[in-house]
Amino acid sequence: MKATKFFAVICLGYTLWACAMEEWEAALDIDIGDYQYHLAEWNNQNMPSYQLKVIDYSDLPGEFILTVKNDVAEGAELLGWYAGKITTISEIFLYIKELEESMIAAHNKGDGISRSLSVIYHKEFHYPVSITSKHDANTERWFFDVMPLEEGVLEIHIGDYDSQLVAWNSQNILNYFIYVTYEVGRYSSSNPGVIIFTDVINGVPTSSYPLFGKGTIPEIFSFIKEEEERITNVYNGENRSFLHVEYDEEYHYPTQINTGIDHLFGSYSRWEITVTPLEQD
C-alpha cells in the first residue's frame, strides 16, 4: 500500500513538473507597443524620402545606410533577403506584424518553443527604433535611425597640382625608396592597411608593386588626375564625393591622398606616401 501511494505521489509530481516545463517552454511574450498609433503618426508626417541607417546585431552583425525616395529604397537589391523586409520604414512596420503573426501561429501549434518580440519607437517621429526577437536561444536585434535626405557636396582639393608636379619633375629624382600605406574599404567595414615599399631605380620599381600599377611618383600624380575625373563623374547631387591631396614641402611629391564616395555603401581609399631619395647615377 505504501509503495502504491509513493508511486502515485511520484507520478503526480512528475506530471506537475512536466506541465510546468511545457508551460515554460511554450512561453510567448509579445510587446510591440501601441503599434497602430505609431504607424498612423509616422504616416501623418508624410516623409517619403530620407536616409535609413540599419544596424543588425544578429549572428552576423552589420550596418548599412539606404537612401529612400518616395518610399522606395535605392540599391535594395544589394541586400539579399533583406530586400522587401527592412529597406523602408513602411516595410519595417510590416515586418513587425509579420513577426507577431508568425510567432502567434507557431505558438498555437504547441511546438514547445519559447518566443518573444519587443519594439521601441522614436518619441518624435514614431518610426521603430529597435526590434528584438527571440526564438529559443536565437536572438535578433535591429536598430534603426532616420536621417534627413540632405543635398550632397563635391569636395575636390588637390592643391596646386600643376606646380607641385613641375617642382617634382624639375628635381629629376629617378632613384628613391618609396613607402606606401594603403587602406581601402566601405564605411561600414574596412580592410586592414597594406604596407608596400620598394626601391625605384632610373624611374622603375625594383620589386613587384601591386597598387594598380602606381609604383612611382609620376604614376601617383597620374592617379590623382584619374581620381579627380572619376569622383566628379560619380557625384550626383546627393552623395558626398571627395578627393583631398597633400604634398611634401621639400620634394613636392603627394604625401596623402584621401578619396571616396559617401553614399549608400560608401567607399573610400587612403594613401600615405613617403619618399627617400637615393644616390643618383
Residue-wise pLDDT for 213-257, tens only, equals 678 999 999 999 999 998 888 787 767 789 999 999 999 999 999
This prediction has a pTM of 0.52
158: pLDDT strictly greater than 90: yes
pLDDT-derived band at 78, boundaries 50, 70, 90: low
- For range 25-32, the mean pLDDT: 84
What 3-state class would DSSP assign to 196? strand
Distance CA 24, CA 114 (A): 7
pLDDT at 251: 97
202: amino acid identity, one letter = N
pLDDT-derived band at 120, boundaries 50, 70, 90: very high
- For range 263-272, the mean pLDDT: 71
pLDDT at 265: 45
Instruction: State the distance between the two ends of the chain, measured CA to CA, in whole angstroms.
Output: 112
pLDDT at 38: 97
Distance CA 79, CA 266 (A): 14
CB 115 within 8 Å of CB 134: yes
pLDDT at 244: 96
> Among candidates 56, 53, 33, which has minimal Cα distance to 142?
56
